[in-house]
Amino acid sequence: MEPRAEIRRACHAMKKYGFHHMTVKAILKELLPAHNYNWELIENDDYTILLDAMFEWKNRNIKNLETAATVQAEHEKYKTQIEDLKLLLKATNEKYESSKIEWEQKELHLMSCIERVEEENLLMRKEANKLANLLKKTKEKEKEDDD
């Protein structure tokens, strides 16, 4: 018997279970070598071996789809977390830059205050020196007047 006729019969038998002929052919490519191309084994009991292989394939695909859906959901969750972290990083950077500018302004103000205090100290030192000199001159004059 020609293999094409056997494949057609197998596809027709699986059609009532909702399997597409391309899927049946793909499963037969795996199943035939495993059974030494013995069509009688595959056709026995209304294609029980083929039907079992078809449902096993279907279950594997369902599990793969479930796994893919889980992976996709995790991917979306991680994607959302990444976006949240990016927003947090942006806000943190903005806050840092704002704080940095504020600290630089405070530092400039502090430096200005230090310069002002140093200038005041210098003026006070000069004034103290003038007073000390004036006191010295006054004492010298008093001494001269006493003599």
Convert the pLDDT of each residue in 63-78 to its tens digit: 999 999 999 999 999 9
* Averaged pLDDT, 116-127: 95
Q: Contact, 32 vs 2, CB < 8 A?
A: no
* pLDDT at res. 2: 56
Dihedral sign, Cα of residue 131, residue 134, residue 140, residue 142: negative
Provide the 10 A C-beta neighbour count for residue 7.
Answer: 16
* Averaged pLDDT, 15-35: 92
Provide the 10 A C-beta neighbour count for residue 88.
Answer: 10
Q: pTM for the complete prediction?
A: 0.48
User: Taking 70 as the threshold, does the pLDDT of residue 1 lie above it?
Assistant: no
* Averaged pLDDT, 41-58: 91
- Say what the alpha-carbon torsion angle 128, 133, 136, 142 is, to the nearest 10 degrees: -110
The residue extents of the domains of the chain are 3-146
